[in-house]
Amino acid sequence: MARKKRNVATRTFFTSLFAILALLLLSSSIAGNRLDPRGTRNHASEGASDPMAPPRESADLLSGITVAVLNEGTSPSYFSGAQTNDYIPIVTALSAEGASVTALTSSQIASGALGGYDVFVMVDNVPSAACQAGVREAWMTGTAIMAFDSSSCALCYFGILPACSMGSNGQGTYWAYGDTGASRIVAAHPITADYAVNAKVTGTSGDAYWLSSTMGSVSEAADITVLTSLDGDTFKWTTIIYEPASYAPVFFCWDEGHVKNTALAPMIVQAVKYLASSTGHAPTLTSG
């Protein structure tokens, strides 16, 4: 009987030991996966365990950046195409990333309201011809431009890109509408940081792209970086960044869907960040 009691006592000891070890492992696992108040993992704890971990950017990637988005649904005589004026989604998306976003009408821009903004966005729409002086003045004094699809009409007509197109919307000469259902990333760049070179990016078909046959020979050609080209045709530029030495940069993307196209949304956010930093306004970054 004494031996049997010793065996029972031994089993009880090891059972208790295993239970304690299990509790210790569970506590360690919970601590490693602790949630912060927003329900995300505690990356600060993770970073602390890895001394080589890079600083983490704030969730507000565009904090401190001011953006003006065109709210204009009418088509001036220089416009060619079918504009959407779908400006609310991009206002919402950029605001969610920390930018201070304001929607401006043509009449406000013509009155000089665009000056002082970091970035001016045209979402497949264009301002009235009366805005030419206001847009050019803002661009020449530090307001970067982001344009989508048919907004290429304004870039050409206002003499922003290319300058030799001033007074003409440039369709058929510098850009055209076509089968733009998919593009390929053709350059590693801060704007395309979330994509691999040669990655395929889908988008809206029938939108605008630049013609390399003519854009490759304009005076601005050396300052243009092609970021995406039409899938299967590198001579049709679907996304570009133009960085003149004296004026603010200009970003163009073919897709009228802009941030509603989830395949392009990361590029658009990075483009706003890049445009603002290129004009001397670096976004506010914090380390984790």
Q: What is the pLDDT of residue 278?
A: 86
Q: At residue 275, does pLDDT exceed 90?
A: yes
pLDDT score recorded for residue 60: 87
Q: In the chain, what percentage of residues exceed pLDDT 90? A: 75
Strands (E), the chain: 66-70, 100-104, 119-123, 144-148, 175-177, 182-185, 200-202, 208-211, 224-230, 233-242, 250-253
- Between 282 and 6, the more confident residue is 282
- State residue 28's pLDDT score: 43
- The pLDDT assigned to 287 comes to 33
pLDDT at 280: 67
CA torsion sign, 221 to 148 to 61 to 144? positive
Q: Does 258 have pLDDT greater than 60? A: yes
| Statement: residue 195 has pLDDT above 50 | yes
User: What is the average pLDDT score of the chain?
Assistant: 84
pLDDT digits (tens, 9 = 90+) for 63-79: 999 999 999 999 999 99
Q: How confident is the model at residue 13 (pLDDT cuts 50, 70, 90)?
A: very low
- pLDDT mean over 265-272: 98
- Domain range list for the chain: 7-49, 66-278
State how beta strands 224-230 and 233-242 pair: antiparallel
**Phi and psi of 67, rounded to 5°?**
-130, 130
d(CA 179, CA 247): 32
Planar angle of CA 124, 126, 128, nearest 5 degrees: 165
- pLDDT tens readout for residues 31-47: 443 333 323 333 332 33
Sequence letter at residue 203: G
pLDDT for 59 equals: 57
Residues 6+ apart with CB under 8 A from 60: 97, 98, 284
pTM: 0.79
Measured CA angle at 202 (ends 200, 90), to 5 deg: 125
66-278 topology per CATH: Rossmann fold (3.40.50)
The backbone torsions φ and ψ at residue 274, rounded to the nearest 5 degrees and listed phi first, read -70, -45
Q: Which of 137, 166, 154 is nearest to 70 (CA)?
A: 154
The stretch 199-220 carries a mean pLDDT of 97
Q: Render pLDDT for 79-100 as a digit per residue (tens, 0 to 9).
A: 999 999 999 999 999 999 999 9
**Residue 270 clears pLDDT 70, i.e. is over it:** yes
pLDDT score, position 9: 45
